[in-house]
Amino acid sequence: MTAILEPDAAQRGVLQAMLHGSVAFADPAGLDEHIRSAANEFAVVIGPSVASETAAELAQWARVHRPDLGVILLRYDVDSAALSLALRSGMREVVAARDLAGITTAVARARSVASAIGQTLLDEVQAAAQTARAEVAAEVAQAAAVAQAEADAPRGKVITVFSTKGGVGKSLVATNLGVALARGGHSTCLVDLDVNSGDVAIMLQLTPQRTINDLVGFNGVIDAEGIASILTHHSDNLMVVAAPVRLDSPDQASVDDIGKLLDALRAMVDFVVVDTSGVFDDNALCALDRSDLIVLVGTLDIPSLKALKLATSTLDMLNFPKATWKFVLNRADGKVGLTADEYEKTLALKADCSLVSSREVLAAVNRGEALVSAYPGHPNSKALVAFSKDVIETLGASAAGEGDPSSRKSSGSRLRLRRG
């Protein structure tokens, strides 16, 4: 549509008759209101009686707010003043008022310019929408690829050996479980989180050059290369992250470092066996949080039962699922006026492994050998090896190496490769 602004009634009548389907206004206010409401307007013809200032104002407004609107200025004399006014204010054309053919041609040109602008805008909107759609599709595909990669990534299992009492046999169970898993062909890393008096290294006769506190030097970047540099080698399949050798070690690994260590180890080995200190501290919680299995250890006596009862109710309260717990009853043959049966009932847990008190346990510790290696025929060794198989079975075939000698080999050598 075309809008006309012309105060002179006769002139306005001529213009309106000439431009079919046009609307005409005598004053700028009427025109202004019309343009704001008619989005399909493509041309404004400013009649020859309209003052130059009014015409300039209108054209300047249109230049900013409606660039698709062609403003055509009609003047009785198309002189340099009219042309410069049109140029300054961004009018499309200046036509002599008597040049009727020129006026209709200018309006036709305004129509085609408006439709070209409209088409360009439409193309741009469609192109932008297409780009946005493509970006969303690419993001979805990337997220799916990341999720798939995470799902496909080898995922070692974390087993935390825990109790809230000292001296009950946690380190005995952790070291023997670690050695039994490794001897079964599974790459395993024992992590000694008893940072104040850990004795995993001593029990396995290892002399660690670097310990868990060396994580501090990594400044939070704890990756496979860094971890490999702090591991102490026990056998092809068994590594140890030892507890600090010196108690006055100035820098203690933070709980954040320990979390990153356990997460990274999952990708490096089949099993991460964590030995804890016997306290519900941040380090223990950090390991428990990441555990696929929690091995609770207690000895057959009232103080240990009381401590375990407290530990299990706390674990329950913290929503650690009972299905992920295993219970090892140590010194189950003790004659202390409390039967294993009563113990289990009070604790509401059946022992998954029972160990007897035996001199060989201490003898093996003194030799710096795991019981399962030093005395393979000992009832405790048999029970611990059977327990390690039960652990593997519980954790399922998802544990790399389970029942598959080729992948066992590759996961074991993956660890060895990263050592250097």
Ligand X SMILES: Nc1ncnc2c1ncn2[C@@H]1O[C@H](COP(=O)(O)OP(=O)(O)OP(=O)(O)O)[C@@H](O)[C@H]1O
Interface mask (CB under 5 A) for Mg ion, residues 194-213, using x and -? --------------------
Task: Show the tokens assigned to 364.
Answer: 């093996």
Task: Show the tokens assigned to 315.
Answer: 């674990």
Q: How far is the CB of 171 from ligand X (least distance, A)?
A: 3
Interface mask (CB under 6 A) for ligand X, residues 117-136, using x and -? --------------------
Q: How far is the CB of 331 from ligand X (least distance, A)?
A: 5
Cα-to-chain-centroid distance, residue 205: 40
Across-strand partners of 271?
157, 188
CA distance 315 to 322: 8
Interface mask (CB under 5 A) for Mg ion, residues 152-171, using x and -? ------------------xx
Across-strand partners of 295?
161, 326
Q: How far is the CB of 192 from Mg ion (least distance, A)?
A: 8
Give the residue with the Cβ less far from ligand X, 69 or 296.
296
CA distance 188 to 92: 81
Distances (CA, A) of 17 to 112, 247, 306: 21, 103, 105
Q: Which stretch binds ligand X (CB under 6 A): 20-28, 176-184, 338-346, 358-366?
A: 358-366
Footprint on residues 275-334 left by ligand X (CB under 6 A): 278, 330-331
Using CB under 6 A, count the residues that bind ligand X: 17
Place of tokens 């396995």: 204
Q: How far is the CB of 322 from Mg ion (least distance, A)?
A: 24
Q: Which stretch binds ligand X (CB under 6 A): 44-52, 78-86, 170-178, 210-218?
A: 170-178
Place of tokens 């820098």: 251
DSSP conformation letters of 151-171:
HHS--PEEEEEE-SSTTSSHH
Footprint on residues 87-116 left by Mg ion (CB under 5 A): none
Q: How far is the CB of 348 from ligand X (least distance, A)?
A: 22
Backbone angles phi, psi at 157, to 5 degrees: -100, 140
Q: How far is the CB of 284 from Mg ion (least distance, A)?
A: 12
Interface mask (CB under 5 A) for Mg ion, residues 375-404, using x and -? ------------------------------
Q: Which stretch binds ligand X (CB under 6 A): 28-36, 165-173, 176-184, 262-270?
A: 165-173
Alpha helices in 273-396 (DSSP H): 282-289, 302-317, 340-347, 359-367, 371-374, 379-395
Task: Show the tokens assigned to 232.
Answer: 């102490």
Task: Show the tokens assigned to 266.
Answer: 């999952």
Interface contacts to ligand X, rule CB under 6 A: 166-172, 194, 278, 330-331, 355, 357-358, 361-362, 365
Enumerate binding residues for Mg ion (CB under 5 A): 170-171
